[in-house]
Amino acid sequence: MRRLETEVLVIGGGATGTGVLRDLAMRGFRAILVEQNDLAYGTTGRYHGLLHSGARYVVRDPQTAVECIQENRILRRIMPHCIEDIGGFFVVTPWDDEAFVPQFLEGCRKADIPVEEISTAQMLREEPRLNPRITRCFRVPDGAADSFRAAEANVASARAYGARAFTYHRVEQLLVSAGRVSGAVCRDLIRDEEVTIYADVVVNAAGAWAGRIAALAGLNVPMRCGKGTMVAINHRVLNTVVNRCRPPSDGDIIVPTHSVAVIGTTDVPVDDPDAYPIEPWEVHLMLTEGAKLLPGLPEMRILRAWAGVRPLYAAEPMQHDRGISRGHVLLDHAARDGVAGLITIVGGKWTTYRLMAQDTVDLVCRLLGTPRACRTHLEALPAVEKGHRTVYHILGAPLAHVEEQKVPGALVCECELATRDAVERAIATGDVTNLDDLRRDVRLGMGPCQGGFCSYRAAGIMHRMQAQRGAQSIQLWHAFVQQRWKGLLPVVCGDQLRQMRLNELLYRTIFSLDRELR
């Protein structure tokens, strides 16, 4: 059994947890982060990729709107390599009430969100696929974000300041004695060994799992898990984020990100953040509502469907999740429950993760009696380097890199232009334990073939580099195929069905992956 000591233990490797780790390290605290899976495995890696301007919340949740636009400006400055500045439209369709427009504009003015009305003719020049029946269009500073790259960058920055981060470490027990939490007992899932970590303060940043972590100390944190189902179009049909100009609802936003466009989302309460099937009606609703923005959408090739769980804090019972604020809530369990040494941070948006981390670490400073100023808004995050230059989060960057380096023969994933060099470097870091980890690092299998041609190549590279047994490599490959299959099943029709059938024939006949794919 391993024993570690630190000042602050952070539980959760999503946007908030990695942001807290970085902030702690930059303020000089000794800090350790543990995550039960890979970085950005949970909600952070399963949202639609939107950098919020805040305009979506100006009427119903004005405080969140203000936080979003302020953090929007900071994130653009400190992580330009993780953000694509594509801008956003809020549009009025024939199904929307124009009476909402004055409220929307007044809300943007109060929140200091730049908004400009443009003609529908101008809108259609920029985005000719949009519905020509749209009557009004407003431009706002929305954007697209790469949440995987951002989480990695936060951890890289934290490590540079001396922090430590351990993935595949599941918290099994909080150490509680005499009304105080003094650490946690974790299970290292890779080595199958127990790790005890002692800390002066424990930060519960486990997102949708925060209630479970708090329960280990006998505490009740009422979480409302809201499932948001999204559908990806096979190609990038838009280059601007498009929202319906109405109160937030289902299927009212399309986000272009990387080489696809994402339609979202539903908002369905679920009991278990680990088990939430995607229902056929959700996919149908996304396509039906999305077609009001993008005519012909249901006939386009749909790549896959997936869902994430919003970690909403439900202090009071509410009939609908849409009514719960998207703002964050910071709980000091000493003041709230009489249990010292434990903080829980819940709620919020990806766009406001840095602010959430700042507020959390400010509280850590007060609890430890050592005021230290936050600097995460002043210092840029480290960029991801490929070759000798930074590859920015823009549509043409991967292709430009491949052409510049003249490595077309070294591609492992043609759909997402993941090179052998990038795959090998990701594996060599030591944080890749399976092909799904590799997907989050280099976007392996996230394109049209959904792993059909790249998964076996990557499995072969991992087999060689990590000296795996043949059976182990096949098992990892099969697990990856199953995960890709899960997101394909809700959208089986047309060209994507033919792609699935081709993949199945490849796996079963050529590679003899003969276990049934379900």
Neighbours of 322 (CB within 10 A): 16
The closest alpha carbon to 187, from 302, 35, 80, belongs to: 35
d(CA 148, CA 416): 15
Which structure tokens are listed for 224? 């409302």
Please list, in sequence order, all residues whose beta carbon lies within 8 angstroms of the beta carbon of residue 387, skipping any fewer than 6 positions away.
Answer: 401, 404, 405
Share of the chain above pLDDT 70, in %: 94
- CB-count burial class (<10 Å; 0-12, 13-18, 19+) for 45: buried
Residue type, 220: N
The domain locations on the chain are 83-144+224-313, 396-510
> pLDDT, tens digit, for every residue of 2-41?
999 999 999 999 999 999 999 999 999 999 999 999 999 9
Q: Is the pLDDT of residue 326 over 90?
A: no
Average pLDDT in the 86-104 region?
97
Average pLDDT (50-61) is 96
The answer to whether the CB of 348 falls within 8 A of the CB of 328 is yes
Q: Give Cα separations from 38 to 33, 445, 475 (angstroms).
A: 12, 17, 18
The pair of structure tokens assigned to 354 is: 């840095």
Name which residue leads in pLDDT, 489 or 232: 232
- Please say whether the beta carbons of 173 and 202 come within 8 A: no
**133, pLDDT greater than 70:** yes
What letter represents residue 478's amino acid? H
54-65 burial, b for 16+ CB within 10 Å, e for fewer? bbbbbbbbeebb
DSSP 21-35: HHHHHHTT--EEEE-
Q: How far is the CA of 232 from the CAs of 16, 254, 275, 276, 287, in angstroms?
A: 25, 9, 21, 18, 10
Superfamily of domain 83-144+224-313 in the CATH hierarchy: D-Amino Acid Oxidase, subunit A, domain 2 (3.30.9.10)
Question: What's the pLDDT tens digit per position in 460-469?
Answer: 999 999 888 8
- What's the rounded mean pLDDT across residues 435-464? 90
Q: What 3-state class would DSSP assign to 172?
A: strand
What are the phi and psi torsion angles at 198 (to 5°)? -95, 135
Helices marked H in 269-391: 280-290, 333-337, 353-368
Could you tell me the sign of the dihedral formed by the alpha carbons of 285, 250, 258, 345, in that order? Answer: negative
SS3 230: strand
State the chain's mean pLDDT as an integer: 91
CA 512 to CA 354: how far, in whole Å? Answer: 47
pLDDT classification of 316: cutoffs 50, 70, 90? low
DSSP 340: B
Q: How far is CA 135 from CA 27, 107, 296, 510, in A?
A: 50, 20, 19, 54
pLDDT of residue 24: 98
pLDDT digits (tens, 9 = 90+) for 264-301: 999 999 989 988 889 999 999 999 999 999 999 999 99
The answer on pLDDT for 126 being more than 70 is: yes
- pLDDT score, position 386: 43
Mean pLDDT over 117-142 rounds to 98
Residues listed for the chain: 518
CA dist 1 and 417 (Å) reads 42
Q: Give the pLDDT of residue 388.
A: 37
Q: Is 254 exposed, middle or buried (0-12, 13-18, 19+ CB in 10 A)?
A: buried
Q: What angle do CA 113, 115, 119 make, to 5 degrees?
A: 170
Using the Cα atoms of residue 26, residue 31, residue 37 and residue 43 in order, give the sign of their dihedral.
Answer: negative
Helices (H), 33-191: 62-78, 100-111, 120-126, 147-160
Q: What pLDDT is stored for residue 207 in this prediction?
A: 95
